[in-house]
Structure 1
Amino acid sequence: MSSLVKAPPVLRVEGLRKAFGTTVVLDSLDLSAPEHTCTALIGASGSGKSTLLRCIDLLEVVDDGVVELDGRDITDPRVDANEVRTHIGIVFQAFNLFPHLRVIDNVTLALRRVHKVGSDEAEQRGLDMLDRVGLRDRAAARPDELSGGQQQRVAIARALVARPRLMLFDEITSALDPELVGEVLSLVRELREDGMTMLVATHEMGFAREVADQVCFLDGGRVLESGPPEQVLADPVEARTRQFLRRIIEARRL
């Protein structure tokens, strides 16, 4: 865990506030993600996990606070949001693949259209990334010919092919059948071992315990408690964290 102290943060969030009308979703939230670490975001539905990830990727306009990527304030109104997103990969619960495009075309579309990579290079990078996620042999398939786990791995390949500085995962297993969860989490585990800097919103406590360098418990739009997984998940300080984890355990017993 020493890397959490020594490594400079790839991402720093300070005083982040986001409201939708009168509903405050993020309330002066602080968080940092050092390089080559995985940060697991846990918390009940409505705690702000998804909104936080969307604000980091500039899919939502923040009301107040600062988001820095490698020391650069990306919440500055003068910043080109599309350029910032070329350095951040994000994968959602829904696969969001284009059903009329082949797998390889889904993976390489942004490379060709946004990053202006030539067709031949884009195709090779796409095939290499599909090989990385174990789906090179399905490059010519359409999304509806794949299982849910395979579609999610294609979505991850699409995000990774641009070689992002930071990866954001938003409950990427929640739409999958239980037997498909393992293959997707295994891929994220491999990315962690490769040193990818990641924020992972998850309800998989076992995965968070095994893979995360730090766990952040969100409640009421703030990081109520954070620390190594063995502390936050096994010996939490805050009563609200203990209550949340107790409910998770009880739900699995039903």
Structure 2
Amino acid sequence: MTTPVIEVRGLRKTYGDRVVLDDVSLSVEAGDVVCLIGSSGSGKSTLLRCLDLLEEIDDGVIGFDGREISDPLVDPREVRRSIGMVFQAYNLFPHLSVLANCTLAPRKVHGLGKAEAEARARELLERFGLGEHVEQHPDRLSGGQQQRAALVRALFTSPRLLLLDEITAALDPELVGEVLDIVRELAHGGTTMVLATHEMAFAREVATKVCFLDGGRIIESGPPEQVLVAPEQPRTREFLRRVLPQ
């Protein structure tokens, strides 16, 4: 038996009196692509933020490569060196060029030299169609280009785990495809990912596991052909009827 990359047991997260995640358990193996689906407010984004230690949990355990990272004594910054996260709103630094955005953390956090960091960043940016934009600032790029730059920044250090939070939600429909193409390429290349998405067709294509969240709980999980095509739970069927074309 191999050790899961991520092992979540009994995770609970509240904001005041509001329960956002309730007894969530999840196992992610190396090479898995786990798609979190559910309505807005179901807990998808909060779960991703808990996995990246951006949120403190109230109960439960989060394990990463066999190590309990939810222990308060664990340094989140050290853990995040092995985890890449891409947000819905890009979160690029507006005052820095695309190149500087991608090399800032590798230089400041990982101690990479400027020349080596920039060479690696240029290689990745070229691979993802941004080679001509390395010196531009984010506001000069389209939404799809900004999201691709955010993906490059997250991938720079070859993270053990990639977390993607609704990365196409803020994009115009014609830009969604170019970002999903990159995620598809990463999935086929064996990158371990957990992503929250509203793109059901994409989830059916790339996911190894789909988890449907409702009211902060995982109501149903399994292979995409089961959860998205023949769901067992009435609540899952109701959700899919609303979001899938008839």
TM-score (norm 1): 0.95
Q: Distance in 1 between matches of 2:173 and 2:186?
A: 21
Runs of 4+ in 1 over 4 A off after TM superposition: none
Moved more, 170-179 or 133-142: 133-142
Cα deviation digits, residues 196-218 of structure 1 (max 9, x gap): 00001000000000010110001
Paired residues for 1:187-202 under 5 Å: 187-202=182-197
Contact 2:43 2:216 in 1 (8 A): yes
Instruction: Supply the distance in 2 between the matched residues of 1:143 and 1:87 (Cα, whole angstroms).
Output: 25
Residues in 1 aligned to 2:224 and 2:162: alpha-carbon distance in whole angstroms:
20
SS in 1 for 2:154: helix
**Aligned mates of 1:170, 1:140 — CA distance in 2:** 26
Q: Return the match for 2:166 from 155, 171, 174.
A: 171
1:142-161 matches, cutoff 5 A: 142-161=137-156
Q: Deviations over 1:30-71 (max 9, x none)?
A: 001110110000011111000000000000001111111101
- In structure 2, the residue matched to 1:137 is 132
* 1:20 matches 2:44: no
Counterpart residue type for residue 48 of structure 1: G
Structure 2 CA distance for aligned equivalents of residues 83 and 57 of structure 1: 11
Query: What CA deviation, in whole Å up to 9, does each residue of 1:152-175 have, x standing for no partner?
Result: 000000000021100000000000
Q: CA deviation at 1:132?
A: 2.4
Partner of 1:239: 234
- Residues 3 and 66 in structure 2, CA contact (< 8 A), matched pair in contact too: no
Question: 1:222 is aligned with what amino acid?
Answer: R
Please report how far the alpha carbon of residue 7 of structure 1 lies from its aligned counterpart in structure 2 after TM superposition. 5.4
Q: How many residues align?
A: 246
Match of 2:116 in 1: 121
Cα distance in 1 for residues equivalent to 2:43 and 2:93: 28
CA–CA distance in 2 between the matches of 1:68 and 1:121? 32
SS at match of 2:28: strand
Alignment of 1:1-254 (within 5 A): 8-249=3-244, 252=245
- Cα distance in 1 between the residues matched to 2:2 and 2:189: 16
3-state SS of paired residue (1:9) = coil
Can you give the 5+ residue segments of structure 1 that lack an aligned partner in the other structure?
1-5
